[in-house]
Structure 1
Amino acid sequence: MDSLIFQDILKDCVLCPRECHVDRTSGKIGYCRTTDELVVARAALHMWEEPCISGKEGSGTVFFSGCALGCVYCQNRAISKGLAGKTITVERLAEIFLELQEKGANNINLVTPSHYVPHIIEALDISRQKGLIIPVVYNCSGYEKVETLKMLEGYIDIYLPDLKYMSDEPAIKYSNCRNYFAVAAAAIEEMVRQVKETRFDERGIMQKGVIVRHLTLPGYLEDSKRIIKYLYETYGNRIFISIMNQYTPITKNRVYPELNRKITEEEYEELVNFAIEIGVENGFIQEGETALESFIPEFNGEGV
């Protein structure tokens, strides 16, 4: 990406749906809690994504600092609130991509990348010129702006968005977001448009495709069912649906006491059975003790 265009975008930043118009180049912080500096908290092989993403070798996961959504229950709050991470250059990010490929990563997995799209495009241009060939995964909250996603066409092989809420009530309550479903639904439509095929290699590792994740929250089983139904009725087997039970209350939440518990086995089983009953075939479920804090990595600057 041309450096002048890069600067123009960040001078009046509307990369995410918040459209806060902050001049990030002047050191001001947007809703995402970042300036124009590129901040990364961890870059390492990650084993806890969906099987077709991590495989046995691991996903080359790059955790970016900051977040445009800012959910009150975030399991990665150290980075979503911008409290962890190291400032690096675009050139260093390109090197990190190549280092992860050298370590045997199945892909480059960009976690919470929305507010760094110009940086990422430039880094991918550099790294691809130097031999990056593995797929690139865009791992996000689903709260994405279609115009920003269009900038990424041709750069992203696998989209891995969340679809968190259908109802406005939890979206407003937990993510300060009145239009979450409408925005996320439009974003997923654009992702599916860009990735026109689903493809796996001989090991079963995804090379191209869209996987939509849904994290079930305590007390919102019916909303979860509506989301699964929407995704299946809209896309059928064109996408994969990942139904997640790993919600973990990290600290005692006095403002939202209803969030101070994990999902019960019965609740999760009911949701999975519902998905099966309506015909979902391309899906992932979580088994065993996935709602453990140990599944949340340390954001200690590894690999940065």
Structure 2
Amino acid sequence: MPPPSYRRLYETGDLAARVEQAWEILRSCTLCPRRCSIDRLQGEAGWCGSRDLPKVASFGPHFCEEPELVGRNGSGTIFFSNCTMRCEYCQNYEISQCGRGEEIRCDDLARIMLALQRQGCHNINLVSPTHYVPQILRALLAAAEGGLAIPLVYNTGGYDLAETIRLLDGIVDIYMPDAKYGSDDAARRFSHAPHYTRYMQESIREMHRQVGDLEVWDGLAVRGLIIRHLVLPGGYAESREVFRFVADEISRDSYLNLMDQYRPEWHAVLRESGLPAAFSRPLNAAEFEEALGEARAAGLWRGLAPGGEEG
């Protein structure tokens, strides 16, 4: 199995330089498409509510990710608090929107990474990392000094800036973005994310440029792109356009995890939510089968069914 990408940058000293470059962004934060331009190093908080310290809700081996990430010992998942979006139906709303978690030092984040490696986890899986990229890189530098040597997974909702993703070139081994919506109207209405499709598509193009299609060694992902798409009831994600983009502009060999686990959460359970009636019920089998057929018709074949590679 090849060594993770960041080891080479650590050994050449380029990782330390990248940390300093990213840290300066916190003085006028433009990490995500909202470009709040606030000074987080002086304690200011922007739209996402994050300041200078990384805020972590939980961490540990996770066994509910794609099989190629989980392996036998689990994916070493770190759930970061806050988010660059506000999905009305978010299943992790206590973390993403209510801010549950604890602010920790970057050195403590490095210790978490090393502890997950000691537990046998196959990778470090950073969930909702975009608003903490500088802090993650500083922690990664310390963890690399401590011997961290397993792949780094960037697990994001897809509302990213290509410029921020370019900072991670040669550092991240596996990108795992959501491609949530096929239209900006849906993204604005259901996730309060203006111009989502443009930013999502630009960032996924950059991710694929860096790491290419998913590479698997002995059943474990070592490098590449995994794209997730949650099928929404009533067709409100406009999935067909997502599939067209992935197939025509990324790669027909893209690994697409087509997810069927929508259930009403957060504001979707409120009678006066203002959401379409379909959001108050789970996804049904016919809706998922329709989306699956559309993905296949677009020429996609890897992943697709929940749980990983299709047989």
Q: With the length of structure 2 as denominator, give the TM-score of the two structures.
A: 0.87
1:75 has 2:95 as partner: no
The amino acid that maps onto 1:103 is Q
Q: Aligned to 1:269, which of 269, 279, 289?
A: 289
Q: With the length of structure 1 as denominator, give the TM-score of the two structures.
A: 0.89
Deviations 1:167-226 (A, max 9, x none): 122111112223000110000000001114632121x11000101111111122671122
When the two chains are superposed, the root-mean-square deviation of aligned CA atoms in Å is 1.8
Partner of 2:3: none
Note closer, same or farther for the CA distance 1:274–1:97 as it changes in structure 2 (3 Å cut): same
- Alpha-carbon distance in structure 2 between the residues aligned to 1:145 and 1:276: 29
Conserved? CA contact 2:22–2:167, under 8 Å: no
Shift of 1:26: 2.3
- Alpha-carbon distance in structure 2 between the residues aligned to 1:143 and 1:32: 12
- Alpha-carbon distance in structure 2 between the residues aligned to 1:210 and 1:233: 15
Deviations 1:240-273 (A, max 9, x none): 1111111121251322253111111111011112
Partner of 1:120: 136
Deviations 1:27-86 (A, max 9, x none): 222111111121101110111111111123110000001101121111111111243111
Shift of 1:277: 3.2
Partner of 2:265: 250
Conserved? CA contact 1:138–1:160, under 8 Å: yes
- Alpha-carbon distance in structure 1 between the residues aligned to 2:22 and 2:204: 25
Between the aligned residues of both structures, percent identity stands at 39
Partner of 1:234: 249
Note closer, same or farther for the CA distance 1:283–1:162 as it changes in structure 2 (3 Å cut): same
Q: Aligned to 1:281, which of 301, 306, 310?
A: 301
Q: Matched residue of 2:72: which SS?
A: coil
- Alpha-carbon distance in structure 2 between the residues aligned to 1:4 and 1:16: 18
Note closer, same or farther for the CA distance 1:211–1:103 as it changes in structure 2 (3 Å cut): same
Structure 1 unmatched runs, 5+: 288-304
Q: Aligned to 1:104, which of 104, 120, 132?
A: 120
The amino acid that maps onto 1:75 is Q
Q: Matched residue of 2:69: which SS?
A: helix
Q: Aligned to 1:94, which of 106, 110, 113?
A: 110
Structure 2 unmatched runs, 5+: 1-15
- Alpha-carbon distance in structure 2 between the residues aligned to 1:281 and 1:4: 41
Conserved? CA contact 1:221–1:267, under 8 Å: no
More displaced, 74-83 or 140-149?
Answer: 74-83
Between the two proteins, the alignment pairs up a number of residues equal to: 286
- Alpha-carbon distance in structure 2 between the residues aligned to 1:240 and 1:66: 27
Q: Aligned to 1:27, which of 33, 39, 43?
A: 43
Q: Aligned to 2:166, which of 142, 145, 150?
A: 150
Q: Matched residue of 2:293: which SS?
A: helix
Conserved? CA contact 1:42–1:62, under 8 Å: yes
- Alpha-carbon distance in structure 2 between the residues aligned to 1:278 and 1:5: 40
Note closer, same or farther for the CA distance 1:179–1:221 as it changes in structure 2 (3 Å cut): closer
- Alpha-carbon distance in structure 2 between the residues aligned to 1:241 and 1:191: 14
Conserved? CA contact 2:179–2:228, under 8 Å: yes
Conserved? CA contact 1:171–1:180, under 8 Å: yes
Deviations 1:101-128 (A, max 9, x none): 1111111000000010001111111111
Conserved? CA contact 1:34–1:82, under 8 Å: no
